[in-house]
Amino acid sequence: MQSFALSTIFILISLSSLSIVVSSSKPLNPCNDDFLHIQAYKQMQNQTNTTQCKKLSSLQAQFAWNYHKTSHNQTQLNILIGTKLITTTGWLAWGINPDLPRMVGTRAIIAVKVPSQITPSVNTYNITKDIQLGCKLQPSGIDFMVQNMTVVDDKDVGFFSVFATLVLPQRYNVSSLNHVWQVGYCVDGLEPKMHEASLGNLDSKEILDLETGDCQNIGQHRRHMRKVHGILNIIGWGTLLPIGVIVARYFKQFPIKLDPCWYYFHYSCQVVGYILGTAGWGLGLFLGHESKYYTFHSHRVLGICIFGFTTLQVTQILAFQFKPTQEDEYRKHWNVYHHFLGYALLVMIPVNIYKGIKLLKPDNITWKWTYNGILVLLGVVVLAFEILTWAVFLYKKCCKKTVEESSPRRVEIEEDSKGQTNEGSSPRKTEVEE
């Protein structure tokens, strides 16, 4: 059974890795008509017919660019990025990172939209580690020239967009440009404040080939890993562990006794569920390490507690020497402890799975309804067995009472040999059935 679980894990991870490799280089996903009708995009097309445009993978952002080499062997890059920022307050950022596809170290252009200004402001910024930790974000110079920064808030089509011309030195490789983007809805004066800590914000980064438009989508890789993480935990901890509890409750002794088959099935469900859940938990730790600036604390803490509790439960099953025998005086205390951990897990596991599903918004509807279906199915099974348990219990109780009432009662009558009780004589006992 354990070898089967390990094979299942290997197949799931292999399929996930294959899908990641297939999706690592994706063709252009064309922009929609609203974005293509922005005046800035039309001007870019008029300048050169090599303008390319694509939908970015998150935050409903769309991106257009063209470039050419200058006489000084530099790259002049024209960019246009836009998103559906329909609120009265917010900001849009785009930038490039010479080292890695991440926010820390990015040279960014940020446009800030506030109700008190007719024209949004736009400046360049250096995104440092201190900014990620909550320090104030102020405009600053960056290590390449930026010209013609323009912000357009087109309320007719709903796009908030930024246009700029960049002159990039040789260290920025146009065949693998690390570019990132962000959207936020909170500002303090003209200072952009921290954006939401959603997975969409976390995934807003790519390695883009400006010539072909192909990209290595870092966020797409993480999305595939999250899918495997979710599938393993839903199957392992969210399905198999509850099935093991159901088997132990309803097939151990009452109402249906399947001894010793119930124990082997209970053991198999718990061990296989533990292996799959632990694999998913380990993958979740890896994802958390990869995004150390965006930690989902409650989901993480509950996951650690679930792993700890399930480890204690499975260790007791595997290590028989730790389990008291039926005759041991400590067995009842062990049972209370074992049942407490089991029922605590039945509460914690669905709560944490729903927390994880919530993080996947807006693409979490299928996950939510799938797990809803699993819980409903398990709930129907439990309800059916509870009804059966009480029916059998009441039936046996009624039968026992009926048998007791119909059985003969014996009355002892003391008589002496003459039918009278004499002083000093020992009485006889006769039994009369009534």
Q: Cβ neighbours of residue 53 under 8 Å, at least 6 residues apart?
A: 28, 30, 31, 35, 36, 41, 62, 63, 64, 65
pLDDT at res. 322: 57
Helix axes 2-23, 218-235, angle to 10 degrees: 160
Q: Is 339 annotated as a binding residue?
A: no
Q: Report the pLDDT value the prediction gives residue 232, as an integer from 0 to 100.
A: 93
Give me the pLDDT at residue 411, please.
46
**92, β-bridge pairs:** 111, 183
State both tokens at 51: 């303008």
Find the helix packing angle between 331-359 and 241-251, rounded to 10°.
150
Q: Does 229 count as an annotated binding residue?
A: yes
Tell me the pTM: 0.67
Coil, strand or helix at 253: coil
CATH of domain 220-395: 1.20.120.1770
Q: In Å, how far from its chain's centre is CA 141?
A: 39
What's the topology of domain 33-216?
Immunoglobulin-like (2.60.40)
Element counts in the chain: helices (H) and strands (E): 11, 15
Provide the H-helix boundaries in 90-214. 129-132, 199-202
> What pLDDT is stored for residue 377 in this prediction?
94
Question: For residue 18, what pLDDT is reported?
Answer: 42
Angle between helices 261-290 and 297-318 (to 10 degrees): 150
Q: How far apart are CA 110 and CA 124, in angstroms?
A: 6
> What was the pLDDT predicted at 1?
45
Q: Does the annotation flag 195 for ligand binding?
A: no
Q: What is the pLDDT of residue 392?
A: 79
Q: SS3 of 22, please?
A: helix
Whole-number pLDDT of residue 326: 61
**Are 222 and 288 within 8 A, CB to CB?**
no
Q: Is 289 a known ligand-binding residue?
A: no
Q: What distance lies between CA 108 and its chain's CA centroid?
A: 30
User: 14 to each of 6, 103, 321, 386, how far by Cα in Å?
Assistant: 12, 30, 37, 41
Q: From start to end of 213-258, where are the E strands?
A: 215-216
CB-CB contact of 210 with 113 (8 Å) = no
Same fold, 33-216 and 220-395: no
pLDDT in tens, the chain (434 residues): 444 444 544 544 454 444 444 344 445 677 887 788 888 888 887 776 678 888 888 888 999 998 888 877 788 899 999 998 877 888 999 999 988 888 888 999 999 988 877 788 899 999 888 877 777 888 888 888 998 898 988 777 778 899 999 998 888 888 889 999 999 888 888 888 888 877 888 888 889 888 888 887 776 777 788 889 999 999 999 999 999 888 888 887 766 776 777 788 888 888 899 999 999 999 888 888 777 666 788 888 999 999 988 888 777 665 555 565 566 666 676 667 777 888 888 899 999 999 988 888 777 788 889 999 999 999 999 898 888 888 877 777 788 777 766 765 554 444 444 444 444 545 544 444 44
In the chain, where the domains are located:
33-216, 220-395
